[in-house]
Amino acid sequence: MQKINKKIIIIVLILMILLLFISFSIRLILNNKETELKSVETLYTPQENISQNEVQKEEIQVSSSDWNLILVNKNNKIPEGYNIELQQVEDNHIVDKRIAENLKNMLQDARKQGLDPIICSSYRTNSKQVQLYNNKVREYKRQGYNSQKAEELASFWVAIPGTGEHETGLAVDIVSRKYQILDEEQEKTKEQEWLIENSYKYGFILRYPTEKKALTMINYEPWHYRYVGIENAKYIKENDMCLEEYINYLKEKELNDKTEV
Protein backbone atom coordinates (compact mmCIF):
# COMPACT_ATOMS: atom_id res chain seq x y z
CA MET A 1 0.00 0.00 0.00
CA GLN A 2 2.84 2.30 0.88
CA LYS A 3 4.47 1.52 -2.44
CA ILE A 4 1.28 2.51 -4.27
CA ASN A 5 1.08 5.77 -2.31
CA LYS A 6 4.68 6.58 -3.18
CA LYS A 7 3.98 5.97 -6.86
CA ILE A 8 0.95 8.20 -6.73
CA ILE A 9 2.93 10.96 -5.03
CA ILE A 10 5.69 10.70 -7.63
CA ILE A 11 3.16 10.83 -10.46
CA VAL A 12 1.47 13.86 -8.90
CA LEU A 13 4.81 15.62 -8.50
CA ILE A 14 5.72 14.90 -12.12
CA LEU A 15 2.35 16.21 -13.27
CA MET A 16 2.78 19.35 -11.18
CA ILE A 17 6.26 19.94 -12.65
CA LEU A 18 4.87 19.46 -16.15
CA LEU A 19 2.03 21.88 -15.43
CA LEU A 20 4.46 24.46 -14.09
CA PHE A 21 6.68 24.06 -17.15
CA ILE A 22 3.72 24.37 -19.54
CA SER A 23 2.45 27.42 -17.64
CA PHE A 24 5.89 29.07 -17.80
CA SER A 25 6.19 28.34 -21.55
CA ILE A 26 2.76 29.83 -22.27
CA ARG A 27 3.63 32.99 -20.35
CA LEU A 28 6.91 33.32 -22.23
CA ILE A 29 5.15 32.97 -25.59
CA LEU A 30 2.50 35.53 -24.62
CA ASN A 31 5.15 38.00 -23.47
CA ASN A 32 7.00 37.66 -26.77
CA LYS A 33 3.79 38.24 -28.71
CA GLU A 34 3.05 41.35 -26.67
CA THR A 35 6.54 42.69 -27.38
CA GLU A 36 6.10 42.08 -31.11
CA LEU A 37 2.74 43.86 -31.12
CA LYS A 38 4.23 46.87 -29.36
CA SER A 39 7.00 46.99 -31.95
CA VAL A 40 4.47 46.94 -34.78
CA GLU A 41 2.44 49.69 -33.10
CA THR A 42 5.58 51.80 -32.78
CA LEU A 43 6.23 51.43 -36.51
CA TYR A 44 2.73 52.22 -37.72
CA THR A 45 1.29 54.53 -35.08
CA PRO A 46 1.96 58.26 -35.63
CA GLN A 47 4.32 59.58 -32.98
CA GLU A 48 2.81 62.43 -31.01
CA ASN A 49 6.18 63.65 -29.80
CA ILE A 50 7.58 64.35 -33.28
CA SER A 51 8.30 68.06 -33.54
CA GLN A 52 6.50 70.19 -36.11
CA ASN A 53 9.80 70.99 -37.81
CA GLU A 54 10.47 67.30 -38.38
CA VAL A 55 7.06 66.81 -39.97
CA GLN A 56 7.39 69.78 -42.28
CA LYS A 57 9.29 69.51 -45.54
CA GLU A 58 12.98 70.02 -44.97
CA GLU A 59 14.31 73.32 -46.29
CA ILE A 60 16.74 73.00 -49.16
CA GLN A 61 20.31 73.80 -48.16
CA VAL A 62 21.94 75.33 -51.24
CA SER A 63 23.16 78.75 -52.36
CA SER A 64 22.08 80.80 -55.36
CA SER A 65 25.78 81.33 -56.07
CA ASP A 66 26.58 77.61 -56.47
CA TRP A 67 28.38 76.80 -59.74
CA ASN A 68 25.55 74.60 -61.02
CA LEU A 69 22.99 77.38 -60.55
CA ILE A 70 24.59 80.02 -62.75
CA LEU A 71 21.71 81.91 -64.36
CA VAL A 72 22.28 82.72 -68.01
CA ASN A 73 19.58 84.46 -70.04
CA LYS A 74 18.91 87.73 -71.88
CA ASN A 75 19.31 89.68 -68.65
CA ASN A 76 22.26 87.70 -67.29
CA LYS A 77 25.32 87.30 -69.47
CA ILE A 78 28.04 84.74 -68.91
CA PRO A 79 30.59 86.37 -66.55
CA GLU A 80 33.88 87.63 -67.96
CA GLY A 81 36.62 85.06 -67.62
CA TYR A 82 34.19 82.19 -67.14
CA ASN A 83 36.27 79.02 -67.43
CA ILE A 84 35.26 75.38 -67.44
CA GLU A 85 37.01 72.04 -67.77
CA LEU A 86 35.40 70.08 -70.56
CA GLN A 87 35.00 66.33 -71.00
CA GLN A 88 33.78 64.29 -73.94
CA VAL A 89 30.68 62.23 -73.29
CA GLU A 90 29.65 60.57 -76.55
CA ASP A 91 29.61 61.17 -80.31
CA ASN A 92 32.27 63.88 -79.87
CA HIS A 93 29.97 65.97 -77.68
CA ILE A 94 31.60 67.73 -74.76
CA VAL A 95 30.21 69.21 -71.54
CA ASP A 96 31.42 70.60 -68.23
CA LYS A 97 33.40 67.77 -66.66
CA ARG A 98 31.38 68.02 -63.45
CA ILE A 99 28.16 66.91 -65.16
CA ALA A 100 29.56 64.24 -67.47
CA GLU A 101 28.93 61.22 -65.25
CA ASN A 102 25.34 62.17 -64.45
CA LEU A 103 24.62 62.79 -68.13
CA LYS A 104 26.07 59.41 -69.12
CA ASN A 105 24.07 57.65 -66.41
CA MET A 106 20.85 59.33 -67.52
CA LEU A 107 21.32 58.31 -71.15
CA GLN A 108 22.33 54.77 -70.20
CA ASP A 109 19.32 54.31 -67.95
CA ALA A 110 17.01 55.60 -70.69
CA ARG A 111 18.48 53.06 -73.09
CA LYS A 112 17.95 50.29 -70.56
CA GLN A 113 14.26 51.10 -70.93
CA GLY A 114 14.48 50.36 -74.66
CA LEU A 115 14.72 54.05 -75.62
CA ASP A 116 17.20 55.65 -78.00
CA PRO A 117 18.08 59.21 -76.95
CA ILE A 118 20.99 61.02 -78.60
CA ILE A 119 22.73 64.31 -77.90
CA CYS A 120 22.39 66.68 -80.83
CA SER A 121 24.04 69.72 -79.22
CA SER A 122 26.24 70.28 -76.18
CA TYR A 123 28.95 72.82 -75.34
CA ARG A 124 29.33 75.65 -77.83
CA THR A 125 32.07 78.20 -78.17
CA ASN A 126 31.05 81.83 -78.38
CA SER A 127 32.01 81.90 -82.06
CA LYS A 128 29.71 78.93 -82.73
CA GLN A 129 26.88 80.69 -80.90
CA VAL A 130 27.48 83.81 -83.01
CA GLN A 131 27.25 81.72 -86.17
CA LEU A 132 23.99 80.02 -85.14
CA TYR A 133 22.40 83.26 -84.01
CA ASN A 134 23.33 85.12 -87.19
CA ASN A 135 21.98 82.26 -89.29
CA LYS A 136 18.63 82.54 -87.50
CA VAL A 137 18.57 86.31 -87.95
CA ARG A 138 19.18 85.93 -91.69
CA GLU A 139 16.38 83.37 -91.85
CA TYR A 140 13.90 85.90 -90.46
CA LYS A 141 15.23 88.64 -92.72
CA ARG A 142 14.53 86.42 -95.73
CA GLN A 143 10.95 86.25 -94.50
CA GLY A 144 10.73 90.04 -94.80
CA TYR A 145 11.46 91.21 -91.26
CA ASN A 146 13.73 94.20 -90.66
CA SER A 147 16.99 93.76 -88.75
CA GLN A 148 15.61 94.73 -85.34
CA LYS A 149 12.58 92.45 -85.58
CA ALA A 150 14.64 89.62 -87.06
CA GLU A 151 17.08 89.80 -84.14
CA GLU A 152 14.23 89.87 -81.64
CA LEU A 153 12.51 86.83 -83.14
CA ALA A 154 15.78 84.95 -83.52
CA SER A 155 16.59 85.44 -79.81
CA PHE A 156 13.55 83.38 -78.83
CA TRP A 157 15.02 80.35 -80.61
CA VAL A 158 18.78 80.86 -80.50
CA ALA A 159 20.33 82.64 -77.53
CA ILE A 160 22.11 85.91 -78.15
CA PRO A 161 25.86 85.19 -78.00
CA GLY A 162 27.11 85.54 -74.44
CA THR A 163 23.70 84.69 -72.98
CA GLY A 164 23.40 81.07 -74.09
CA GLU A 165 23.43 78.11 -71.74
CA HIS A 166 25.33 75.96 -74.20
CA GLU A 167 28.31 78.26 -73.69
CA THR A 168 28.40 77.25 -70.02
CA GLY A 169 28.84 73.55 -70.78
CA LEU A 170 25.90 72.79 -68.47
CA ALA A 171 23.24 72.32 -71.16
CA VAL A 172 22.55 69.66 -73.75
CA ASP A 173 19.95 69.16 -76.43
CA ILE A 174 18.71 65.56 -76.46
CA VAL A 175 16.40 64.09 -79.10
CA SER A 176 15.02 60.75 -80.15
CA ARG A 177 17.12 59.04 -82.78
CA LYS A 178 13.87 58.23 -84.58
CA TYR A 179 12.74 61.87 -84.58
CA GLN A 180 15.48 64.48 -84.69
CA ILE A 181 13.49 67.56 -85.68
CA LEU A 182 13.65 70.36 -83.11
CA ASP A 183 9.99 71.24 -82.81
CA GLU A 184 7.20 70.75 -80.30
CA GLU A 185 6.42 67.30 -81.70
CA GLN A 186 9.63 66.21 -80.00
CA GLU A 187 7.78 66.08 -76.67
CA LYS A 188 5.58 63.27 -77.98
CA THR A 189 8.50 60.88 -78.45
CA LYS A 190 8.97 58.16 -75.86
CA GLU A 191 12.46 59.48 -75.19
CA GLN A 192 11.26 62.94 -74.23
CA GLU A 193 8.41 61.56 -72.15
CA TRP A 194 10.94 59.56 -70.13
CA LEU A 195 13.42 62.44 -69.85
CA ILE A 196 10.82 64.99 -68.81
CA GLU A 197 9.65 62.63 -66.08
CA ASN A 198 13.04 61.32 -64.89
CA SER A 199 15.80 63.83 -65.74
CA TYR A 200 15.60 65.44 -62.28
CA LYS A 201 16.91 62.20 -60.74
CA TYR A 202 20.21 62.91 -62.48
CA GLY A 203 20.29 66.64 -61.73
CA PHE A 204 18.77 67.93 -65.00
CA ILE A 205 15.71 70.06 -65.65
CA LEU A 206 13.73 70.83 -68.77
CA ARG A 207 15.03 74.36 -69.02
CA TYR A 208 12.38 76.07 -71.15
CA PRO A 209 8.87 74.79 -70.32
CA THR A 210 6.10 76.11 -72.53
CA GLU A 211 4.17 77.69 -69.64
CA LYS A 212 7.26 79.63 -68.47
CA LYS A 213 8.11 81.48 -71.69
CA ALA A 214 7.36 84.88 -70.17
CA LEU A 215 10.07 84.23 -67.57
CA THR A 216 12.68 82.34 -69.57
CA MET A 217 12.27 84.57 -72.65
CA ILE A 218 12.90 81.50 -74.79
CA ASN A 219 10.31 79.52 -76.73
CA TYR A 220 9.34 76.04 -75.60
CA GLU A 221 12.16 73.58 -76.24
CA PRO A 222 11.23 70.02 -75.21
CA TRP A 223 14.80 68.89 -75.89
CA HIS A 224 16.95 71.37 -73.95
CA TYR A 225 18.13 70.03 -70.58
CA ARG A 226 20.16 71.98 -68.08
CA TYR A 227 22.19 70.55 -65.20
CA VAL A 228 21.46 72.15 -61.82
CA GLY A 229 22.28 69.31 -59.40
CA ILE A 230 20.02 66.57 -58.07
CA GLU A 231 18.76 68.40 -54.97
CA ASN A 232 17.93 71.53 -56.95
CA ALA A 233 16.34 69.62 -59.83
CA LYS A 234 14.10 67.70 -57.44
CA TYR A 235 12.89 70.89 -55.75
CA ILE A 236 12.31 72.64 -59.09
CA LYS A 237 10.25 69.73 -60.41
CA GLU A 238 8.22 69.25 -57.22
CA ASN A 239 7.36 72.95 -57.12
CA ASP A 240 6.78 73.40 -60.87
CA MET A 241 9.40 76.14 -61.21
CA CYS A 242 11.70 77.31 -63.96
CA LEU A 243 15.30 78.23 -63.12
CA GLU A 244 14.51 81.95 -62.96
CA GLU A 245 11.82 81.35 -60.34
CA TYR A 246 14.06 79.04 -58.34
CA ILE A 247 16.95 81.52 -58.25
CA ASN A 248 14.56 84.24 -57.07
CA TYR A 249 13.25 81.90 -54.38
CA LEU A 250 16.79 81.17 -53.14
CA LYS A 251 17.78 84.83 -53.12
CA GLU A 252 14.69 85.80 -51.14
CA LYS A 253 15.36 82.98 -48.69
CA GLU A 254 18.98 84.06 -48.29
CA LEU A 255 17.91 87.67 -47.71
CA ASN A 256 15.35 86.60 -45.09
CA ASP A 257 17.95 84.44 -43.34
CA LYS A 258 20.33 87.41 -43.10
CA THR A 259 17.56 89.65 -41.80
CA GLU A 260 16.64 87.16 -39.10
CA VAL A 261 20.26 86.96 -37.93
Q: What is the pLDDT of residues 138-164, one digit of tens each?
A: 999 999 999 999 999 999 999 999 999
For the beta sheet containing 117-121, the strands, ordered from the edge strand earlier in sequence to the opposite edge, are: 117-121, 171-176, 224-227, 204-206
Q: How is the chain split into domains, by residue range?
A: 2-55, 67-123+169-260
pLDDT score for 257: 84
Asked whether the predicted pLDDT for residue 25 surpasses 90, the reply is no
Can you name the CATH fold of 67-123+169-260?
A: Muramoyl-pentapeptide Carboxypeptidase; domain 2 (3.30.1380)
What pTM was estimated for this model as a whole?
Answer: 0.76
Read off the DSSP letter of residue 80.
T
Interval 182-220: pLDDT, tens? 999 999 999 999 999 999 999 999 999 999 999 999 999
Mean pLDDT of 40-53: 36
Note every long-range contact of 244-249, with CB atoms under 8 Å and residues 24 or more positions apart, other chains counting: 244/71, 244/73, 244/212, 244/215, 244/216, 245/212, 245/215, 246/69, 247/64, 247/69, 247/71
Q: How far apart are CA 40 and CA 96, in angstroms?
A: 49
Q: What's the mean pLDDT in 43-67?
A: 55
Backbone dihedral region for residue 171 (phi beyond 0: left; psi -120 to 50: alpha; all else: beta):
beta
Catalytic residue among 139, 221, 231, 238: 221
Residue 167 annotated among the catalytic residues of the structure: no
Q: Tell me the backbone φ, ψ of residue 108, rounded to 5 degrees.
A: -65, -45
* Other CB atoms within 10 A of residue 227 CB: 29
Stretch 69-85: mean pLDDT: 95
